[in-house]
Amino acid sequence: MLKIDHISKQFGELQALKQVTFDVADGEILGLIGQNGAGKSTTFHSILNFLNYQGSITWNDKPITESVFDEIGYLPEERSLMPKLTIEQQIIYLARLKNKSTKEIKPVIDSWLKKFAVKGNKKDKIKDLSKGNQQKVQLICTLIHDPKLIILDEPFSGLDPVNSDLLKQAILDAKKRGAAIIFSSHDMENVEEICDKLVMLRNGKIVLHGTVQEVRDSFGKTRIYVTTDKTIDELAMLPHVVAAKPLEKRRFVLYLDEESSGKTIFDELTNGQYIEEFSQQAPTLNEIFRRKAGEKDE
């Protein structure tokens, strides 16, 4: 288990992290979200001992030192492959830094290239690959030594939907084998889809923390998705509806002033009759992110 306990970090007059506390259990995926400059990369650099900080960070109840670096897979936000090396040379070089031998790694390279659908072959040079394929090679380098703690800084950046799905599956596979995984992302759909928990930072402080559903439910189930023959004007006039928005033909979302009004609206719309769709939900994670990012610190 990774434990972050009241860590703070200051760069001159900038307080980059302020009493940040959370943990990531084995076999758990945590999404670290926040605007640019919120403190996500600083958190990662603190975990990896790239920075001095106040507070405590432990891995399996021990400080993170060079002795456990072989158990960590880290993908930095800035890609850093060596362009003149071949794919095979690059993967083997970085795997050997994790104390994996060429004999161990060389036989599995082809299967990893196939797993990530890398176009080309292992004798191609890094500089001849597209940016997307270079990114996939760096992901392979991050995961090929089967790390127990995986840290991914914006791993989905620049990936198309097909390749994003390949990465999601690789993350879920690592979860199945018991790895603790933490990644940052600006795409709330990715976070909502695969994360067990999330932490949102704003100006270096935690403003949201919990499971995805706990975070959503904490804002109340103030959205109703409905399929009906009523007009948008009729829907907007319903009690406790503060706004109505069309989604597609006959389908709308209603925004409520309070969660408890859902039953009243259901009765108004159905009048005891069948209705094709009526689903009361919490705000989406994307809506919540926008709301929290726009708030001012007290």
pLDDT for the residue 160: 86
> Cβ-count burial of 227 within 10 angstroms (0-12 exposed, 13-18 middle, 19+ buried)?
middle
Scored b (16 or more CB within 10 A) or e, 200-219 reads bbbbbbbbbbeebeebbeeb
pTM of the model as a whole: 0.86
Q: Average pLDDT, stretch 220-241? A: 93
Q: Average pLDDT, stretch 128-135? A: 88
Tens of pLDDT, residue by residue over 10-66, are 999 999 999 999 999 999 999 999 998 899 999 999 999 999 999 999 999 999 988
Tens of pLDDT, residue by residue over 236-295, are 999 999 999 999 889 999 999 999 999 999 998 988 889 999 999 999 899 899 888 877
DSSP track, 2-46: EEEEEEEEEETTEEEEEEEEEEE-TT-EEEEE-STTSSHHHHHHH
Q: Average pLDDT, stretch 121-134? A: 90
Contacts of residue 298, Cβ cutoff 8 Å, sequence gap at least 6: none
Confidence of residue 131 (pLDDT cuts 50, 70, 90): confident
pLDDT for the residue 9: 96
CA-nearest of 64, 66, 115, 67 to 91 is: 115
